[in-house]
Amino acid sequence: MLERQSTVGSVPIGSFVALGDSFTEGLGDETPDGTLLGWADRLADLLASRSPVPFRYANLAVRGRLIDEILEEQVPQVAKLTPDLVSFCAGGNDILRLGSSVDRIAERFEEGVVELSSTAKTVLVFTGFDPRGTPVLRRLRGKIATYTAHIHSIADRHGCLVVDLWSMKALQHPRAWSDDRLHLSSEGHRQVALRAAGVLGLRPMLSTPATHALQGRVRQPQRLDDLRWAKEHFLPWLGQHLLGRASDEVLEPKRPQLLPL
């Protein structure tokens, strides 16, 4: 349960546009009928329930998108939609690519922030996750930490609000992640939505039992489980997304227009 109306400062949030890749699209948070929810949809529901004005929401995120694609395809749409709030999470797929430059990705991210800040009243950005508990990906921990530092610096320069995913201990628990360990589970998405709501000023009145449940000591996965995960999930994903094998699936944003909730 959340208290306070959905406002940033004294300005009510009447519209929200989410930009990004699979994280923002909601992959890993499927309903029984296969519909994707995700933290952005969950946050939109929270904002709508507390908004003192009619609330509208759009989600332009598309799985697999690199930061250049997000800047080309999604960021320009914000000028047409002129939302009160825009969320911008990008660069994760780029960081995972062999030979990618964190500094270059951060420069492109800042270009996006500058453009978004000229049209949206509030820009909400996200740091990287801490991958210390994920095999293979934990080797990129320094790279992701550097990008996280860039995000904080960019946010400071341009007055963005920051959801610090790196610091979320709940996201270090296996239950926060899908079987592929690459995308959040429904519980992980719920935790991110609550953290984002808190950053926007909607504070939970009480911590939920699930929140406490994800903060206990975590037993690291056994080596056999790690090998199975690498074979069944990571290597196929690596082949498709990092080595340039394009998917035959044509993907479109799930909610391309600002529509009432």
Cα gap 33→113, rounded to integer Å: 35
Q: Round to whole Å and give the CA distance between 177 and 129.
A: 12
* Per-residue pLDDT reduced to its tens digit, 205-222: 444 444 444 454 444 455
What is the per-residue pLDDT for 251? 81
Q: Where are the alpha helices (DSSP H) in the chain?
A: 22-25, 39-50, 67-73, 75-81, 92-95, 102-117, 141-158, 186-199, 209-213, 223-229, 235-241
Average pLDDT (105-134) is: 95
Q: Of 171, 163, 178, whose CA–CA distance to 40 is shortest?
A: 163
Mean pLDDT for the chain overall: 85
Q: What is the pLDDT of residue 154?
A: 98
Assess contact for 69 and 260: CB atoms under 8 A: no
Mean pLDDT of 179-189: 89
- Sequence-separated (6 or more) residues with CB below 8 Å from residue 4: 50, 201, 202, 203
Three-state DSSP at 232 gives: helix
* The residue count for the chain: 261
pLDDT bracket for residue 204 (50, 70, 90): low
Distance CA 45, CA 202 (A): 12
Beta bridge partners, 173, equal none
The whole-number pLDDT of residue 213 equals 44
pLDDT tens-digit series, residues 76-111: 999 999 999 999 999 999 998 888 999 999 999 999
Count other C-beta atoms under 10 Å from residue 3's C-beta.
Answer: 10
Cα 178 to chain centroid distance, Å, stands at 15
Q: Per-residue confidence at 63, pLDDT binned at 50, 70, 90?
A: very high
Tens digit of each residue's pLDDT (9 = 90 or more) over 144-155: 999 999 999 999
Q: Which amino acid type is present at position 171?
A: L
Beta strands in 32-131 (DSSP E): 56-59, 85-88, 122-126
Phi (first) and psi of residue 100, to 5 degrees: -70, 150
* Cα Dmax for the chain: 53
Alpha helices in 159-234 (DSSP H): 186-199, 209-213, 223-229
